[in-house]
Amino acid sequence: MSCAIINFAEILTKMKSRVFVFLLLISVIGACKNEDAYIGDRYYRNGEYEKAIEAYTEYLQLKPSNIKSIYNRGRAYEELGEYNAAVMDFKKVIDIDPNHVQARLSVASDLYRNKLYKDAIYQCDLVLEHTQSAMAYFIRARGNQKSGNINLAMDDYKSAISLDSEFGEAYFYRGTLQIYRKQKSAACNDFKIAESLDIATATKARKDYCR
């Protein structure tokens, strides 16, 4: 009986050892995969977008629903001008989290870039149902301005500026609307503010309209 007990104990010890080694390997693999996400962030910050995409893709093989990595990979694709791949990632994020503000705004920006103004406005509407976002108001303003909805665009620029008083582009484009509405003094004031916020186009506009 004692031998049987000793043998069983040895077997149990070996099994525990193997389980420990297995768990250790899993933790090491997980740590390596987490490192892929950190490396991806580092590559992204350094402007090495192709390498960032590779690192994020490696990480997503282990955690395919990790929102941060999917979104960041989309941003890296966007920086490379690979807009279709970028939008696919942004939409994956929205499928996982329909209220993800940045992903919806990224989709809205792409729609605006493709002159799909009504669709861009709709995406911004969805964002603004849940949170106040200067960028959502700004993109919606641009969509309304391009669609000829001048009063709506003006209201949205005002809202964007009220949320972010240093939103230079919002001042500049509000200024262009005020030129259209023959409100020269207000337009020139907006151009001046935009210029102080390093919006290069505001300098030319101020020279053209504010003599």
Instruction: Look at residue 65 and give its three-state secondary structure.
Output: coil
* Every domain of the chain and the residues it spans: 17-97
Percent of the chain with pLDDT over 70: 82
Per the confidence metrics, is the pTM higher than 0.85? Answer: no
DSSP 98: T
Distance of CA 123 to the CA centre of its chain: 14
Residue type, 34: N
53-102: per-residue pLDDT in tens? 999 999 999 899 999 999 999 999 999 999 999 999 999 999 999 999 99
* Assigned token pair, 65: 């629903």
For residue 142, give the nearest of 125, 123, 166, 120 by alpha carbon. 120
Q: What does the H/E/C string look like for 109-158?
A: HHHHHCCCHHHHHHHHHHHHCCCCCHHHHHHHHHHHHHCCCHHHHHHHHH
CA 141 to each of CA 43, 106, 145, 147: distance values in angstroms, whole numbers, following the listed order: 34, 15, 6, 10
Reported CATH class of domain 17-97: mainly alpha
Burial, 170: exposed, middle or buried (Cβ in 10 Å; 0-12, 13-18, 19+)? Answer: buried
Mean pLDDT of 23-42: 57
